[in-house]
Structure 1
Amino acid sequence: MRPDPRLGLAQIAMAGVLWGTGGLGVQLVREHVPMSVLTISAWRMAIAAVVLLLALVALRGGPALGRLLRERPGRVVVVGCGTAAYQALYFGAVVSAGVTVATVVSLGLAPVLLTLAAAARSRRRPGADRVLVLVAALTGLVLVSVGAGHGGSTGPHPVLGVTLAAASGAAYALATALGEPLARSTGPLTLTIATTTVGSLVLLPLLLVDAATGGVVATSEPVPVAVLLYLGVLTMALAYGLLYAGLRTADGSSAVVATLLEPVTAALVAAALLGERVGPLGIAGTLLILAAVAGLGRRGQDVGGPLTPPREPDRVSGLHRP
């Protein structure tokens, strides 16, 4: 039976929703302990790696992981490093230039880069429907970011922040582009374990740097520990598993558009739990992003459409394959 790209887009959209709750989690941790966002990110990936490795042992997925690392070691390392770099660079952009600039540049640049890369590979200009979806999504992203109450906040180093955000978006696009073929030949759990473990090893030095400079790198308080577990298990392990499951049928440029539900979720969570005002611009942006994601799903129904590229040979088997 032909795989349905709409299922893949739904899985990726769910990942975006989970990521959208991460900002609140980081804020809760920092309300209890003065832990840096980079240290929180390092713990998030480390917790995810441990949980996923325990699942791998329980489900006896070691042989699949071994095959993946033997056959695609370089690509696994690049995807894992790209995932870690995206998070670290994004948080650096937030500190340097503010939430709005970091969000719009980082999340907005990735779908543009992937669309251009797909056009270059196929030597064809993007179709009018693809451009329309992209414009709607990016416009919605700007409106949500501005309407969520961050529009007037600018960090102390805007030029550095824009540079970091652009690098973050490029790392996100690269990790997604290289992860897409891996996702089509590897089980989601196997791929998530491999890339998350690499990412956690990349971010581990941040804990050492914080410890050396007198920063808080650990806590025993129940609330921040619980939140860190939530961030690691749900917004990292589960969310990236959903992303890689979705990339088996949806292409990378569509995937990053679907993950723009992340800022939408963040704005709605902040409005519901923190009393922040979304505003008319935020509502309009939310509707535009939802319309763009719906447009992707509609295009995915077309036989031979751009959301259903040929599957690669199943060189690396994995867990949870249909």
Structure 2
Amino acid sequence: MSLPTRARSSAALVLAGVLWGTGGLAGSLLGQRAGLHPLAVADYRLLVGGAVATLVLKGRGVPRTSEALRRILAVGGLFALFQASYFAAVALSSVSVATMTTIGAAPVMVTLASVRKPRRWTLVSVISTFAGLVLLQWSPGQAMSFGGLGFALLAAAGFAALTLLTAKPVDGLDPLSTTAFGCLTGGLLLLPVASWSDMAIPLHADVLALVCYLGAVPTAIAYAAYLRGLAAAHPVLGALSAVLEPLTAAVLSAALLGERLSGTAWCGAAVLVAALAVGYWRPEPR
């Protein structure tokens, strides 16, 4: 891989992780202001994100090859699985613990599935990532039920499977098309469950702006960037970049909502940055 290609790939993965971090704040605000269940928020995210990405495609239809259609269906199913499992874990535990478990477990699963004999620097990066997430988000006295733990690990497995699957390109299906049709498919699959929780929203400017932002920025743009970055990066590096989501969310919460980060949390943030640096500069060969 040439250095410019590697640099563009790394930049795309970093962009995706940071934008995902803004999605947590936007989704939380949308749920509060519209009175939506987390599953409804997740479904709006997928449906609006898919619609926005489809508009950018400028009328390009769904690829008609059987391989492309199978890929879209698989991506849509994994989107729905990941979102539903994650929000189930949140409901049974807490946002911080569910996020820490999901994002912390995903790089480990990808490493075990894609690398027969991980290099020393890969192991250092994965272990440091998990340690940083623990320091960043763990609070004494918080506990996760076995049900919450199970759903968080299921969400991690869904994200890991999505990372491994989309790392292999399909003819006629670029990252934007995969994002557009995958999100729409996932949103439709999740719709029956989300509708049960009531998806009605007040037609207020701030609520509609949050819906549009959640679908466009941390979904359509972020997933398109992530899939584009995976095209030239090892899947382990892609999974590691996802840890920028809780890191960005924690910093934004401190800056915009006045939530104070403890010294331990700031240490965790520093460990995360160091772990990502190791992953980017010492990547596994493809």
Residue in 2 aligned with 1:66? 63
Residue in 1 aligned with 2:273? 290
Q: CA RMSD in A?
A: 1.9
Percent of pairs with identical residues:
32
Map Cα deviations across residues 68-125 of structure 1 (whole Å, 9 max, x no partner): x533322321122112211111111011012233122211111111111123xxxx42
> Which residue identity does 1:167 align to in structure 2?
L
Residue in 2 aligned with 1:312? none
Residue in 1 aligned with 2:15? 14
Give unmatched runs, 5+ long, in structure 1. 301-305, 310-322
1:83 paired to 2:66: no
1:111 paired to 2:107: yes
Residue in 2 aligned with 1:145? 137
- Distance across 2 between alignment mates of 1:132 and 1:192: 31
- Distance across 2 between alignment mates of 1:251 and 1:170: 17
Give unmatched runs, 5+ long, in structure 2. none
Cα pair distance change 1:251/1:185, threshold 3 Å: farther
1:41 paired to 2:28: no
Check whether the contact 1:140–1:288 (CA below 8 A) recurs between aligned residues: yes
Q: Pick one of 279, 282, 285 that aligns with 1:299.
A: 282
Q: Pick one of 213, 226, 233 that aligns with 1:243.
A: 226
Residue in 1 aligned with 2:176? 189
Specify the structure having the higher radius of gyration (Cα). Answer: 1
Structure 2-normalised TM-score?
0.93
Equivalences for 1:220-259 in 2 at 5 Å? 220-259=203-242
**Displacement over 6 Å in runs of 4+:** none
Specify the SS of the correspondent of 1:4: helix
Check whether the contact 1:52–1:193 (CA below 8 A) recurs between aligned residues: yes
Structure 1-normalised TM-score?
0.83
- Distance across 2 between alignment mates of 1:154 and 1:245: 37
- Distance across 1 between alignment mates of 2:210 and 2:52: 15
Q: Pick one of 244, 268, 280 that aligns with 1:261.
A: 244
Specify the SS of the correspondent of 2:167: helix
Specify the SS of the correspondent of 1:66: coil
Check whether the contact 1:97–1:159 (CA below 8 A) recurs between aligned residues: no
Specify the SS of the correspondent of 1:72: helix
> Which residue identity does 1:66 align to in structure 2?
P
Check whether the contact 2:121–2:279 (CA below 8 A) recurs between aligned residues: no
- Distance across 1 between alignment mates of 2:107 and 2:172: 23
